[in-house]
Amino acid sequence: MSNVKKSDLSGRVAVVTGGASGIGRATAILLARHGARVFIGDVQLRPENDPQFTELGIVQTTCDVRTEKDVKALIDLAAERGGGLHILVSNAGINMDKQLPDVSEAEWNACLDTNLKGGFFASKHAIPHLRVAEPSSLRPAMPVYSREPTTRSTARARGRSSPCPTAWRFAMRRITFARTPFARAPYRERP
């Protein structure tokens, strides 16, 4: 964390999906420590986060990113209570910790619904708020997986890194606070 550039995010409002654990939790804490007003959504909130999140002013709410109304409610809550939305970190995701032939159709659908639909719903409902906030940022967190379908433990045994450190480096390197072409492109005709 020492190589992360210090930024003053006072007055900025951030939403982090999947913010109760892992990379999402670390990102939410980092954003809050830099002054942002942070709202996290997660399908399973963790009581052990309450003391630190309360101290940092992080607002937690239950949000299943596979359900559009949950995502819209999280985004709207942040925009209403925070006075706008400047940062979206679409982080919620599911890892497959088994061999591909052993994955059931239900597991595959849950993975696609969380990893693809979740990011779509978050972007869909955040972009209208981001387009009126200057500066704003939309960053999907995209972990990089190994080249072959192996379990995480097998990847480690073969000397490959698990997706988490790669995604963390990606998230820390890619958190910028200026409007991105992705967030701006559909709305070039802004008044």
Q: What is the pLDDT of residues 99-134, one digit of tens each?
A: 889 999 999 999 999 999 999 999 999 999 988 876
Three-class DSSP category at 164: helix
pLDDT attached to residue 52:
97
Please tell me the predicted confidence (pLDDT) of residue 141.
Answer: 52
Domains of the chain, earliest start first? 13-185 (3.40.50.720)
pLDDT score of 17: 96
Q: How much is the pTM?
A: 0.70
- Which residues, in sequence order, are bridge partners of residue 38? 14
pLDDT, position 6: 58
Rounded distance between C-alpha atoms, residue 118 and residue 92, angstroms: 7
The segments of the chain whose pLDDT lies below 70 read 1-6, 134-191
Q: Is the peptide bond before 135 cis (omega within 30 degrees of 0)?
A: yes
Rounded to whole angstroms, the Cα distance separating 44 from 64 reads 9
User: pLDDT value at position 97?
Assistant: 84
Dist. CA 10–CA 41, nearest whole Å: 21
What burial class does residue 174 get, using C-beta atoms within 10 Å of its C-beta: 0-12 exposed, 13-18 middle, 19+ buried?
middle
